Structure 1
Amino acid sequence: MYQFLDVFFVVFHFSLIAFNLTGWIWRKTRRLHLYVISATIFSWIGLGAVYGWGYCPCTDWHWQVKRALGEADLPASYVKYYLDSISGFAWSAPLVDSIVAISGVGALLISGWLNYKNRVE
């Protein structure tokens, strides 16, 4: 079961990140994107105030699965974990966190602007 959940979280979390970064592009997905990216930013900041800045429930759940599979020393960042895994290079956690935060806030601002423009038109 844990193997299935590990694969599920890889696919789901990667898809969520991809949608957060690109969902604003298509007019039909812009409203959904605004909701999803807003929930993501709320998680990072709102839930982050309680659980640690940048908190993501998907990462938390996935790390529980990975620990059950015997993995240890997991970083706080899902993106850092996979960048390290894919590249074979140990990425700087502050650099990855900065890129993720700037990209997320940028996507939120673009989505907000485009959703506003769509309502005005």
Structure 2
Amino acid sequence: MGDFFPINEKKISFIEKEDGSLALFLSITCQSCIEILGQIKDIKDDWKQVSLIIYLFGNEKEIESLKKKMDAEILVILYKKEDMRFLNTEFFPFVYYISKEREILSKGTINSKEDIHKIISKAS
């Protein structure tokens, strides 16, 4: 991979965990994304040494409601259409596995928790 994840410093300054971060790109209108959201607790439990960042595309009101239900350790960011070019992600669901130095270790389209495991395994 070798590229660096384009993080907006104003929004994210906490990629501190030893094994880096997972940046999940999800949409509230995507069935696979909704299923992945339902597995977030399991994903977090499986990868305790990895920070979770969820970029969520959709209605701001719905996303604010979801944020209140999420674990405080999971960062949920409203993902707007204008962010797609900056973050180079237009497909959902999608994940980046990022080192704590912000290097992209692996990335890909996902449809399940198992797909996330495969993406992380690719980086090993």
Structure in which a larger fraction of residues adopt helix: 1
> Which TM-score bucket, shorter chain as reference?
under 0.3
Structure in which a larger fraction of residues adopt strand: 2
Q: Whose Rg is larger?
A: 1
Q: Could you state the TM-score of these two structures normalised by the residue count of structure 1?
A: 0.27
